[in-house]
Structure 1
């Protein structure tokens, strides 16, 4: 079984200090990519080979026994397009091949977990990086890229300021001596906007054309899924991209007291709690809810419900053990 990805925790300032290296935070689908057998694995452990035929072909040009960590991205019109990744996410095999020609994606590698089938996660990042550089120096398919890395914080600041317009979300800081800790938040991310995830539990209006989304999170004490907020009204484009991901649960949820929309949650149609969306949370909270409506960013079909933080946390807590 392939190891879980290592994660990053948010920080309010760019970390500095001896032994740190910096990489861009790419706006794409976090992915592990393996060779012989070729496999493309989402952050939620779903095998997604069918969606990325150009990456499958590219990975087959590499030596066997590799497992890389990285991000699937799509460059369109001079910037990173998350919408293109969403289109691919729901595509069948034939449509995926068409999109591979029209909107080709790239796998940007930033870590190496196995070489020749041997686990190297306990080796320092500097060693794993050198092995990646050696791999990419030998020539590679154009759909495969190696992420940039620098040990200069001023260069990292230039990336942070200068690359946001093309879709770079921020900077990830890592220890050059650090081992790869699967499932742990051992890296630090310095982002332009602090976002988080929630589960869609209802749709204001109709499921087929939602006016807004009602959001849920697991209670950290009971494990029960409960309503914690709702989004601002969705734009027509947001409705169109979100509606196909929602499945009606057959329930109609009545209004409940809150401060949303003048004191009540609008009646909403329940949906099966399986769709994850990215949001910008409200800073004000009350009674275990975001006190005001939150800003919807986009669907996150690449994430599973288990990846969503509990309560009102911005990040999922590090597993115990």
Structure 2
């Protein structure tokens, strides 16, 4: 299931609140142990400490939904540690599991003893999940996600938890079934972020000064220019450079120069890159001529996502 962004914390009968963890979304199963990202990438080889806990501490026939996170030594969520697991060998992943162990925060139960629970209410699934997680001896890489039905507690989380990297609150209807692909959950974040596809760079791709952002047209599926980021810091350029590949001549859907926009009065030259890298951005929602009108703030690379996972048009969800 997915979530849509809201600008206030909803209240109402049977609503449940959870922290919005800053990590890799993952569905896991036991018997055999498997763990996949939202776009179908195998994660159990990249996070062997979690796979081992699933194998040893839970019975077979279980399917879970949750978030892989890493707590740093200073008590904050460390998204960079998750990025370091991308593309590593199994041997390197085992080394990182010892030096930078991660946790799987479980917030939903989709199957138990081979029985499909997705048609049952969230309240029912949560009660079964709490009983199941009671079998797990702590400390463990497997952790039950926090949940409350008290909006005052949720507001306290929203105020206090950004200090450790929790970016907002998830709001779910306790009476609803689990419907994959539906945006029936809601997210109340401190700032609205979304994803875009990098189609070009200002400066060379291995050391970009800014990014030219793309989104696919929901009707035609064509990749269109959607925006430009603010200038990147040296650290951001260093972080992103390894994920960008310069496109060959004639292998890109965009023109070689950009029309005047974002404060420029003349056409702009840029370097075209293979449109395969996804980044998280914080855009101003104002639009003009099918683009974000203002420069977007770059947040981080999203190597756990593929271009097909990015919203279409100029949607922020």
- Shorter-chain TM range is over 0.9
- Paired with 1:74 and 1:308, the residues of 2 have a C-alpha distance of 24
| 1:269 equivalent in structure 2 | 271
More strand as a share of residues: 1
- Paired with 2:265 and 2:63, the residues of 1 have a C-alpha distance of 51
Judge conservation of contact 2:256–2:272 (CA < 8 Å) in 1.
no
The question of 1:139 aligning with 2:154 is answered no
SS of the residue aligned with 1:213?
A: strand
The question of 1:111 aligning with 2:108 is answered yes
- Paired with 1:135 and 1:265, the residues of 2 have a C-alpha distance of 60
- Aligned with residue 59 of structure 2, among 63, 71, 93: 63
| 1:12 equivalent in structure 2 | 7
Judge conservation of contact 1:204–1:266 (CA < 8 Å) in 2.
no
TM-score, length of structure 1 as denominator length:
0.93
Alpha-carbon shift at residue 264 of structure 1 (Å): 4.3
Alpha-carbon shift at residue 83 of structure 1 (Å): 0.9
- Paired with 1:30 and 1:265, the residues of 2 have a C-alpha distance of 40
Alpha-carbon shift at residue 13 of structure 1 (Å): 0.6
Which 5+ residue runs of structure 1 have no aligned equivalent? Answer: 1-5, 316-321
Judge conservation of contact 1:255–1:264 (CA < 8 Å) in 2.
no
Cα shift readout 1:188-211 (whole Å, capped 9, x = no counterpart):
111111001000111211111111
- Paired with 2:144 and 2:245, the residues of 1 have a C-alpha distance of 38
- Aligned with residue 127 of structure 1, among 124, 129, 132: 124
- Aligned with residue 208 of structure 2, among 210, 231, 235: 210
Judge conservation of contact 2:280–2:299 (CA < 8 Å) in 1.
yes
| 1:200 equivalent in structure 2 | 198
SS of the residue aligned with 1:248?
A: coil
Judge conservation of contact 2:136–2:142 (CA < 8 Å) in 1.
no
- Aligned length in residues: 310
- Aligned with residue 87 of structure 1, among 84, 89, 112: 84
- Paired with 2:173 and 2:293, the residues of 1 have a C-alpha distance of 38
CA RMSD of aligned residues (A): 1.4
Alpha-carbon shift at residue 244 of structure 1 (Å): 1.1
TM-score, length of structure 2 as denominator length:
0.94
SS of the residue aligned with 1:132?
A: helix
- Paired with 1:137 and 1:265, the residues of 2 have a C-alpha distance of 62
TM alignment of 1:1-321, pairs within 5 A: 6-61=1-56, 62-76=58-72, 77-140=74-137, 142-251=140-249, 254-264=256-266, 266-315=268-317
- Paired with 1:265 and 1:247, the residues of 2 have a C-alpha distance of 23
Alpha-carbon shift at residue 291 of structure 1 (Å): 1.6
